[in-house]
Structure 1
């Protein structure tokens, strides 16, 4: 597997991990995946920082997501832009964009935005 394919699979795996109910309800898991400077522009229009999104996710009713049309763009050696479609409970769709940064020998998400869309 080429280095680029490994990177795509790794970032995709991290995105999929963030969509898993067991991760979304684990403060420890979320603190590991989200960088200190994390910010999210949610599809609701609300802007969250790291602490706010962790608290919101810990209160979330369990939902199930699947990821479609995943793609990345390598912006630099330490910055990756990921785009995909998230399907929530097999009926709600959103366009997702994330920025991942290589910090202290691991990839962490520093920015995320979701925009509701139709199929």
Structure 2
């Protein structure tokens, strides 16, 4: 089941002006990698159009994004930015008139924002940290699943940081006698703000221990990371 608290999400539009800082010979050396970067974010439905300025002293990217901060994070991945080959001026604007063709491109819901697809994706990751065969079991594998500011309130009431969780999981994954028996059900998804979703569900472990679980998921550059998690024991006989 999905819920949506943001009925009128705004799609922000941006014009990004790239200005080259180095001769074209150096730009062309990284042009292929730059085009791969663009293709990646076209596929994720963030970029609408792009191309070189005339004369060729830089480039233009037209983008749609939830915020300027998100777009800035994306642009830092451009090889031109990583190699300090260009500067980026970001202009946000709010269109008041547009063609039907433009409307179908810009204001159509991104496929990755389909709530049913998001629910299916996040369900496949829950219970969190119980899928090492899919997401890995090294320190690096665990770390990239978790936001740096992550914290958890356990069923005991204790608070755990990202480092606490990593240390616990490394011990668990390296224990040859550890058995992982669980059943998760009654999933509900609520959109909090763009790219941030609350997933709640019931978890039964070892066929006896029942808890209600809440995970706050954040999408960062197309990848899902855990921001917060909480478990609450269900007393026997409670609804």
- TM-score (normalizing by structure 1): 0.86
Deviates more, 1:105-114 or 1:29-38: 29-38
CA contact (8 A) 1:84 1:95 kept: yes
Greater shift in the superposed pair: 94-103 or 52-61: 52-61
* Residue of structure 2 equivalent to 1:107: 224
Contact kept, 8 Å, 1:21 with 1:62, in 2: the verdict is no
Q: Contact (CA 8 Å) 1:101, 1:107: kept in 2 or not? A: yes
Judging changes above 3 Å, is the alpha-carbon distance between structure 1 residues 98 and 26 closer, same or farther for their aligned structure 2 residues?
A: same
- Residue in structure 1 matching 2:182, options 55, 58, 65: 65
Rounded to whole Å, the distance in 2 between the matches of 1:26 and 1:66 is: 24
Answer 1 or 2: higher relative contact order, Cα 8 Å, separation at least 6: 1
> Structure 1's 90 and 29: CA in aligned 2 closer, same or farther, altered over 3 A?
farther
- In the TM superposition, what whole-angstrom CA distance separates every residue of 1:18-65 from its partner, at most 9, and x where no partner exists? 323656854233212111111000112211110111111222343322
Q: Which residue of 1 aligns with 2:126?
A: 15
Match of 1:3 in 2: 114
User: Which of 145, 154, 158 pairs up with 1:46?
Assistant: 158
Q: Which structure features the higher share of strand residues?
A: 1
* SS of equivalent to 1:43: coil
Gaps of 5+ in 2: 1-110, 173-177
**RMSD value, Cα:** 2.3
Larger deviation: 21-30 or 84-93?
21-30
TM-score normalised per structure 2: 0.45
**What's the counterpart of residue 196 of structure 2?**
79
**Structure number with bigger Rg:** 2
Question: 1:4-27 CA deviation, whole Å, 9 max, x = no partner?
Answer: 211110111122463236568542
Task: Tell me which moved more, 71-80 or 27-36.
Answer: 27-36
Note the residue ranges of structure 1 that are not aligned, 5 or more in a row.
none
